[in-house]
Structure 1
Amino acid sequence: MSAQRPAHGPARDGRLHAWAELLRAPAAFTVPGDVLAGTAAAGTRPTGRTALAAGASLCLYEAGMALNDWADREEDATARPHRPLPSGRVRPGAALAAAGLLSAAGLALAACAGRRALAVAGPLAATVWAYDLGLKHTPAGPAAMAAARSLDLLLGAAAGPGAVRRAIVPAAFLGSHTLAVSLVSRRETEGGSSTAPLTALAAAGALTTVLA
């Protein structure tokens, strides 16, 4: 029995590393920022419900990461064969199941944070799935990404006792900034002119600075 233990350890570590790579684990530390910004924009302090909303946001983010690789598995097999799915380190069915379970967990945490939080988390989850499964490679992709960021900020506002309407303007500017960044990235990838999106990015940044 003792001779078999070393073989299990590396295999288990390899699976954990593959899942961490699939879910972009290091990026998860950046996720609660939108929720906390929404809480501050609503004029309230973080509470236990804020923590639940942050957990919901994190679950929905990770669901999007798993779903993204599942949707792109055929493209990744050619362009990025080292990724967890095309390399065989994570099964496609397992990635899709994880996306579903994480989405359900996110909605459940949002429900625990209150009806208002759930009312925002539902459209956020729908936007994540729509983006990964159909909108990402269409002209509507950047707008969907922007909507997800805006909703994520509003989730923090909705989880607390403050007025959600106070967070609408900050959410709109966060969405505008995300839209501009997404357009710049897309133009660079496709080789088109980035003048217009760069101008939009600069404008969004300037307006955000003024509001801050």
Structure 2
Amino acid sequence: MLRLPAVLTVPGDVLAGTAAAGARPGRATALAVGASICLYEAGMALNDWADLDEDAVARPHRPLPSGRVRPRAALTAAGALTATGLALAACAGRRTLAVAAPLAATVWAYDLKLKHTAAGPAAMAAARGLDLLLGAAAADRPLRPALVPAATLAGHTCAVTLVSRRETEGGSPAAPLTALAATAALTASLLSAPHHPAADHPAPHHPAADRPTAHHPTPHHHAVRTALALGYLTTAAGPLVHAALHPSPALVQRAVGAGIRATVCLQGALAARAGAPATGLLTAALAPAAARLARKVSTT
């Protein structure tokens, strides 16, 4: 029910936000990662509770319709995980809680009301964007430098969510083609010459993560950013092409799973583009584990 392969895509949101803010990961970052994971898992449990009737027809093997988990237990878990996530955010600081609260509200609104409406993809995208901003807030830095990375991550999430809406019936190449175009555009933006707005807010007592100078990226920065951006492209694009050519439920579901896993490379590329290649590589290191787990546990 908690989709462990997908959980490995969560820490990179906060790490990318911390890098975008020009800060080094620390105790508050770890607390924000914990909060992020809890809120994500709350959304997973709440999603299955809200979709019980639909899953009983389309996905009877899932934990709730199969009877392995009781609906009340899923709802209780969602509430407990949300409370734990907000508590961890509060421990990280008031600014972190100020971002975590609307994030939690977005998660609940999506699962209970917005998922099957036209606003569903935008709500899911907003949740991922807020999750990245959580990292900047935990670093106690201005959120403005993290807005563009948050929008990039939100764009990818919106595209994957559009594809996921047809994962049980398939039938249309439109969503995979749209997601493929979005993936190509986002990759091009990742490969473009970066600007480091975080450098406009230097913090003498908190040196930037692992960049020598914010306005003069080294060849190492460029190589890591390029590799991670291309990793994002190759992970997401191939399954989308297959789903566009043959939009069967199996291939659409495979494209959705690949899009979720590609999030890790995207997060790493965003961190590297912000001038933190070590953080980017650390984030991307979660991708192989997510791929291995996906062979045993469904990502979607």
Q: TM-score range by the shorter chain?
A: 0.7 to 0.9
The question of whether the paired residues in 2 share the 8 Å contact of 1:49 and 1:160 is answered with yes
**Equivalent residue number for residue 208 of structure 1:** 190
The question of whether the paired residues in 1 share the 8 Å contact of 2:41 and 2:81 is answered with yes
Using the size of structure 1 for normalisation, the TM-score is: 0.84
The question of whether the paired residues in 1 share the 8 Å contact of 2:63 and 2:69 is answered with yes
Return the alpha-carbon distance in structure 1 between the equivalents of residues 25 and 182 of structure 2.
32
Cα drift, residue 187 of structure 1: 5.9
The question of whether the paired residues in 1 share the 8 Å contact of 2:137 and 2:143 is answered with yes
**Higher helix residue share:** 1
Return the alpha-carbon distance in structure 1 between the equivalents of residues 85 and 95 of structure 2.
14
From 193, 207, 210, the equivalent of 2:174 is 193
Return the alpha-carbon distance in structure 2 between the equivalents of residues 190 and 73 of structure 1.
24
**Equivalent residue number for residue 220 of structure 2:** none
**Equivalent residue number for residue 68 of structure 1:** 47
Identity score, percent: 72
From 2, 5, 8, the equivalent of 1:29 is 8
1:187/1:78 Cα in 2 relative to 1: closer, same or farther (>3 Å)?
A: closer
Q: In the alignment, does 2:72 pair up with 1:93?
A: yes
Cα drift, residue 200 of structure 1: 3.1
**Equivalent residue number for residue 150 of structure 2:** 171
* 2:184 maps to amino acid: A
* 1:193 maps to amino acid: A
1:46/1:136 Cα in 2 relative to 1: closer, same or farther (>3 Å)?
A: same
Q: In the alignment, does 2:20 pair up with 1:41?
A: yes
Return the alpha-carbon distance in structure 2 between the equivalents of residues 187 and 209 of structure 1.
31
**Equivalent residue number for residue 143 of structure 1:** 122
Give deviations 1:99-156, integer Å, cap 9, x for gaps: 0010011011001111110010011001101111111111111111110110000001
* 1:140 maps to amino acid: A
What SS does the corresponding residue of 1:167 show, helix, strand or coil? Answer: helix
**Equivalent residue number for residue 6 of structure 1:** none
Cα drift, residue 178 of structure 1: 1.6
The question of whether the paired residues in 2 share the 8 Å contact of 1:184 and 1:198 is answered with no
Return the alpha-carbon distance in structure 2 between the equivalents of residues 64 and 181 of structure 1.
17
Return the alpha-carbon distance in structure 1 between the equivalents of residues 171 and 149 of structure 2.
30
Q: Give the 4+ runs in structure 1 shifted more than 6 A.
A: none
- Segments of structure 1 that go 5 or more residues without pairing to the other structure are 1-21
From 51, 55, 59, the equivalent of 2:30 is 51
Using the size of structure 2 for normalisation, the TM-score is: 0.60
- Segments of structure 2 that go 5 or more residues without pairing to the other structure are 195-272, 274-300
The question of whether the paired residues in 2 share the 8 Å contact of 1:180 and 1:200 is answered with yes
Q: Superposition RMSD on alpha carbons, in Å?
A: 1.7
The question of whether the paired residues in 2 share the 8 Å contact of 1:177 and 1:205 is answered with no
Greater CA deviation, 122-131 or 77-86? 77-86
Greater CA deviation, 164-173 or 58-67? 164-173
Return the alpha-carbon distance in structure 2 between the equivalents of residues 92 and 185 of structure 1.
23
Give deviations 1:173-198, integer Å, cap 9, x for gaps: 11112222322444674625234443
